[in-house]
Amino acid sequence: MRYILRGLLPLIVLFALGLREAVAADRRSEITDSLERRLAVAAGSADSVAVLFNILDLSQGVPARVSAAERVLAAAESAADTTAQLQAIMYLANLRHRDDAALDSLQMRLRALGSDPRVDEISLFVDLLRSELFLRANPTDSASATQNLMLRHIFEAPEDLADRIKLLYALCTRIAESTQGDLLTLYAGELEQLVEHSPLPMGAVRNLIYTRAAITFTNNGKAAEAVATDKKTLNIIDSLAIAYAEQGRRYRRMQQNRYTCYRRMLGNHRVLTPAEVEQYHRAILDLASENKLVAADMESNPRAEASYLMATGHHAEAIPLLRKAINHPANSRLLFHLYSELDSAAIASGNDAVHQEAVGNLYRLSLERLRNSGDERDREIKLLDYVTRLRSAHSEQLEYEKEAARQQHLIVIGIAVLALLMLVGAVIFMYRQNRKSRRLAAELRLAVTHLRNERNDLQATQQELIKARDQAHSADKLKTDFINNMSHEVKTPLAAIAEYSRLIVDCIPDEKRNYLDRFAHTIDLNTRLVLRLVNDVLDIAALENGNMVVDVKPVDVRQVCTLAFDNVFDRSHPHNPDVRLIFDPAGLNGLTVNADPERLVQVLINLLSNAAKFTAKGTITFEAHPSADGQAMLFVVTDTGIGIPEGQEENIFARFKQLDPSVSGCGLGLYISRLLARLQGGSLSVDMSYRKGARFILSLPL
């Protein structure tokens, strides 16, 4: 019942619209009379233009619209309103695109407006309409004319952008007279790309080219290209509608233009997403509820509603609408597509009678398409052969040209033979398909049932996986929160232990202080190690959650380097005579870098502590200097310790990663250091070319 109501909904809407539009027709006359009265008392031409535009938008029938547009143009010329003149000329050109004398008159009025990008575009628009009218009115010697246009396009392409557009448009029009194949698609796509990147502020030329290109792409089975082009056309329509609304044109809503685009896009529903299908169908229904012409077209030609039902899987409801669309004269060039849709709907709904009917018509249309396709392909080959021979004529001798022509003739014969074989094969294939159709229909029904069961199983599995994922995320969050809370709780007692151990030593007599000072120092050292581990855990949580904020400002390089160096080697490693320390703070005078001083010192302490930990004997070098390109400050820590095994240079930066488990530490220092470097806009890396130990390079932007 729900599907039946869905199928009847457009008819119910259209019935209701009949009454609504009847009232709208009466109101149209009433509103027009009111506007004419306003026009009679208008102060001048400038005030009259806006009123005349609304009268134009309310007018119906070509003669009435031409008369109204002429009135707008006259008032706009009197008011010296260039924008209004261009809009009126564009409107008249569309209405009288089959009248060469009228187009010539409009072109003369455009010349009187002078040179302006907007004027130039409308002039180009009129020229394109005149060119199309001339080419269609003079089809004689079409092949020769097409060859000459292709020759000009390949060898003598104009420098002027407008002339290139006119040449390509004329070429596409000529080719369309003899073929609708790949050659036309190629040049239509090239023309679309040319206007897309051209300065055309009015949108008239783009709208014309995109509309022609979308139709060409649709007729040649290029659904994705057709939809993309129609989307660009809709953007232009939206821009024009906004501009008209700002000018006070309340009745110029371009509803029929939108409807044509949406209907064509729904016809290519196989490349649309479900959301796009719903969006475009809703838009068509909204247009039908407001415009009686759209509603009437939907009633007589339900192609859009049939496409929507096919896209949403309501195949049985689509069958009667598809049949009605097939019988509509406006869809004569879409019969193969519509019969294919009808066949798909019949198979999906199990309607064998309709399936047989659709297969028979597809077989007939396939034979016609093969014959026509062969003729069109032959014409395309002849055009391409002509261009090829023209190119060869510049560099090859006459004897070679004759041989090439003979070879080309053989190729054409071979293609004709191949086309004939394909035709015979198609006939045999369609005959066998007709015999197998019933068996395939039964197999398809079984396959659909099997796929439906598999879909249900997959949905159940998916729900279980989603539940397991959510549980894992929850457990991971609880673990992280527990570690962070415990780290905060541990910091306070650790600090108290360190302070009170030092206080105890300070309060005992001097003769016992040396003995207890060693224990206090041990407690203090280990407390600082634990605090450092706790701080590392808290820093990781802040960095990974994006909660850490850095205060980047100019920092004295000598000051931060000296602070980091003294912190490591005066406190943690003051006694190691086998290690030579190389650090010259005097060479850092005057150097500054943009960084957070506290976090920069933290990274440098981690790097220096790492070097001290893994260097039992040798040297540790600490230096800082600008990069070769002057864009960054480099902090380099080099040691002659145990080094890093080849291939492990990136692994050492992983969280909790230690290459040697016997060495103290938990593998967080380098991981935190790299995160802090990136947070300040820099980087931390290992110099892979250095193999005498390890060399770490911290780079921060200047």
Contact call for residues 289 and 247 (beta carbons, < 8 A): no
pLDDT band of residue 22 (cuts 50, 70, 90) is very low
Looking at this protein, which amino acid is placed at residue 61?
A: G
d(CA 673, CA 684): 7
Q: What is the mean pLDDT of residues 249-276?
A: 90
pTM score, whole prediction = 0.49
Dihedral, 698, 699, 701, 702 alpha carbons, nearest 10: 80
Q: Look at residue 349 in the predicted model and tell me its pLDDT.
A: 92
Q: What is the mean pLDDT of residues 553-563?
A: 94
pLDDT tens digits, residue range 597-631? 999 999 999 999 889 988 989 999 999 999 999 89
Length of the chain: 702
Tell me: pLDDT of 306 over 90.
yes
d(CA 513, CA 508): 6
Least confident range from 80-94, 96-110, 645-659: namely 645-659
The two three-digit tokens of residue 584, written as one number: 């010259």
Angle CA 139–142–148, to nearest 5: 130
Determine whether 254 is exposed, middle or buried from the number of CB atoms within 10 Å of its CB (0-12, 13-18, 19+). Answer: middle
Domains of the chain: 553-701 (3.30.565.10)
> Which H or E run includes 596?
none
Tell me: pLDDT of 404 over 80.
no
Contact call for residues 693 and 640 (beta carbons, < 8 A): yes
pLDDT band of residue 350 (cuts 50, 70, 90) is very high
pLDDT band of residue 4 (cuts 50, 70, 90) is very low
The two three-digit tokens of residue 278, written as one number: 């719903």
**Alpha-carbon separation of residue 695 from 98, 602, 641, 674 (angstroms):** 79, 18, 10, 15
Task: Using the CB atoms, write b or e for 27-48: b if 16+ within 10 Å.
Answer: eeeebbeebeeebeeeeebeeb
Partnered with residue 635 across adjacent β-strands are 624, 698
What single-letter DSSP state applies at residue 572?
Answer: I
The two three-digit tokens of residue 406, written as one number: 């003979």
Longest Cα–Cα distance in the chain: 123
pLDDT tens digits, residue range 278-297? 999 999 999 999 888 899 99
Sign of CA dihedral 583, 585, 590, 591: positive
Our measurement of the distance from residue 501's CA atom to the centroid of its chain's CA atoms, rounded to an integer in Å, reads: 65
d(CA 563, CA 552): 18
d(CA 91, CA 80): 18
Q: Where are the alpha helices (DSSP H) in 508-594?
A: 510-544, 557-567
The two three-digit tokens of residue 553, written as one number: 């400002």
pLDDT tens digits, residue range 129-161? 888 888 777 765 556 677 777 777 777 778 888
Number of Cβ atoms within 10 Å of the Cβ of 401:
13
Q: What is the mean pLDDT of residues 82-98?
A: 90
Tell me: pLDDT of 75 over 70.
yes
> Which H or E run includes 249?
none
Contact call for residues 549 and 539 (beta carbons, < 8 A): no
Q: Look at residue 367 in the predicted model and tell me its pLDDT.
A: 80
Reported for 385-394, long-range contacts at CB under 8 A and 24+ positions apart, including other chains, are 385/412, 386/147, 386/150, 387/147, 387/150, 387/151, 387/154, 390/151, 390/154, 390/155, 391/154
Contact call for residues 90 and 202 (beta carbons, < 8 A): yes
The two three-digit tokens of residue 640, written as one number: 């002659």
Contact call for residues 329 and 344 (beta carbons, < 8 A): no
Q: Look at residue 396 in the predicted model and tell me its pLDDT.
A: 54
Contact call for residues 341 and 310 (beta carbons, < 8 A): yes
Place of tokens 């230690």: 658
Tell me: pLDDT of 593 over 90.
yes
Query: What DSSP letter does each residue of 250-311 carry, written as one string?
Result: TT---HHHHHHHHHHHHHTGGGS-HHHHHHHHHHHHHHHHH-HHHHHHHHH-THHHHHHHHH
Indicate the average pLDDT of the chain.
Answer: 80
d(CA 92, CA 56): 11
Sheet (strand 579-583) strand order = 579-583, 618-626, 632-639, 694-701, 683-686
Q: Look at residue 674 in the predicted model and tell me its pLDDT.
A: 92
d(CA 424, CA 419): 9
- Percentage of residues of the chain with pLDDT beyond 90: 28
d(CA 668, CA 670): 6
The two three-digit tokens of residue 173, written as one number: 């029009």
What residues contact 97, with CB distance under 8 A and at least 6 apart?
Answer: 103, 129, 132, 133
pLDDT band of residue 536 (cuts 50, 70, 90) is low
Q: Look at residue 2 in the predicted model and tell me its pLDDT.
A: 35
Q: Look at residue 14 in the predicted model and tell me its pLDDT.
A: 34
Contact call for residues 414 and 406 (beta carbons, < 8 A): no
Q: Look at residue 464 in the predicted model and tell me its pLDDT.
A: 84
Q: What is the end-to-end Cα distance of the chain in Å, rounded? A: 71
